[in-house]
Amino acid sequence: MITSNQAKNGFNPVILLFCFLLLFSTILAENIKKADFAGTKSDKYRKQTEADLEENRFQNEINSLFDSNYDDIDTTGWLINQINGWRFDYSALNDTLRIPFIDSLHKRYFTFPFKNYTTSPFGSRRGFWHFGQDIKLQVGDTVKNALDGIVRIIVNDRYGYGKVVVVRHHYGLETLYAHLSKTTVKQNDKLKSGDIIGLGGRSGRATGSHLHFEIRLYGQPFDPNLIIDFENYTARSDTLFLCKDNFSYLTDLRKTVVHTIRKGETLSAIAKRNGTTVQSLCKLNGIKSSTILRIGKRLIVRKGSNQFHNTYVDIFSNSGT
Ligand SMILES: [Zn+2]
């Protein structure tokens, strides 16, 4: 029904509104198209500028962390969102590195993170590599920072390290404290040896509460027993000596693969194909030579020198427990 007012003007306001909206949306769509087309270049430029600014901001932030106490902390591989960011190839290292660990001249000392007995050591564990030393603790025990440094990253790695803090120290050294129940420091905090970094726990992939402690040089873990005496809670020496042999385990690790058992396969066939032995397969996987293989079950295989088959998945990863 048309009211007298509409009839007088000769326009139906609903139709008028519809026409207006149609016109408006067409103009808008055209403009968006034009903007899209014209904007491709400037967007790219804007993104580039933003990335540059972000990079500058990041660099300035990193630079601002350093003063005379911290200026010889090497920022190589300083990533703020990854625990394992940067890897140095130590197979090319020919000389022995001599790294000051305790430096009384600069009042830099070592503190044992939590004084208690150790459980799992650095090394091969059920075929997987364990990159640190486990120290027994109870949930809520205070964990201390080992050496002067700056917090590089704090993250909650739910399926691995759990709540974890990584501190960068002088000369490219890093220490890592995992499975914490609480962290009490922030990223970029400057820490002295002995400062509390958090409370112990069993977060992430951990069986029972413990501290998983790692020490690394430019991202590569090495056996902390080289420099730390875990029985007496002290440093073994003021100077840490490292050579490529201390990282040779990485070469072996890269030969470790996971094999999924297929129909008709036997342990001896798998061993033969990978240049290894049935005994080695049994030891790595905690099985007996008489164990019946299930199709689809995964086996850890450490390849020997005469292997010629290469269709496996590399399991190398630094996700400690
Ligand atoms: Zn561990």
| Ligand 1 centroid to residue 174 C-alpha, Å | 16
| Ligand 1 centroid to residue 74 C-alpha, Å | 26
pLDDT at position 6: 46
112-146 pLDDT, tens digit each = 999 999 999 998 776 578 999 999 999 999 999 99
The residue ranking higher by pLDDT, 228 or 296, is 228
Q: What are phi and psi of 219, to 5 degrees?
A: 90, -15
CA 50 to chain centre: 26
Residues sharing a CB contact under 8 Å with residue 275, sequence separation 6 or more, in sequence order: 303, 304, 305, 306, 307, 308
Q: pLDDT-derived band of residue 32, with 50, 70 and 90 as boundaries? A: very low
Task: Identify the bridge partners of residue 123 per DSSP, sorted by sequence position.
Answer: 130
| Ligand 1 centroid to residue 101 C-alpha, Å | 23
Q: Where are the alpha helices (DSSP H) in the chain?
A: 4-9, 13-64, 249-253, 267-273, 278-285
| Ligand 1 centroid to residue 91 C-alpha, Å | 25
CATH code reported for the domain at 90-249: 2.70.70.10
pLDDT at position 246: 93
CATH code reported for the domain at 254-314: 3.10.350.10
Instruction: Look at residues 128, 161, 168, 167 and name the one whose alpha carbon lies nearest to residue 249.
Output: 128
Portion of the chain with pLDDT greater than 90, in percent: 40
Separation between Cα atoms, residue 247 and residue 13, nearest integer Å: 81
Encoded tokens for 133: 């030393």
- DSSP code per residue over 70-81: TTT---TT--SS
Q: pLDDT-derived band of residue 73, with 50, 70 and 90 as boundaries? A: confident
pLDDT at position 191: 96
Q: pLDDT-derived band of residue 26, with 50, 70 and 90 as boundaries? A: low
| Ligand 1 centroid to residue 120 C-alpha, Å | 6
| Ligand 1 centroid to residue 132 C-alpha, Å | 5
192-212 pLDDT, tens digit each = 999 999 999 999 988 899 999
Separation between Cα atoms, residue 74 and residue 76, nearest integer Å: 6
User: Which region among 41-50, 78-87, 177-186 has the lowest average model confidence (pLDDT)?
Assistant: 41-50
- Amino acid symbol at 83: I
Judged against a pLDDT cut of 70, whether residue 22 lies above it is answered with no
Q: Which residue has the tokens 């088959």?
A: 309
pLDDT at position 142: 98
Judged against a pLDDT cut of 50, whether residue 316 lies above it is answered with no
- Amino acid symbol at 202: R
pLDDT at position 302: 79
| Ligand 1 centroid to residue 206 C-alpha, Å | 8
Those residues whose beta carbon sits under 5 angstroms from the ion ligand 1 are 132, 134, 212, 320
Judged against a pLDDT cut of 80, whether residue 300 lies above it is answered with yes
Judged against a pLDDT cut of 80, whether residue 188 lies above it is answered with yes
Q: Which residue has the tokens 């640190």?
A: 132
263-292 pLDDT, tens digit each = 888 998 888 887 788 888 888 888 898 888
| Ligand 1 centroid to residue 286 C-alpha, Å | 20
Separation between Cα atoms, residue 226 and residue 19, nearest integer Å: 81
pLDDT at position 238: 96
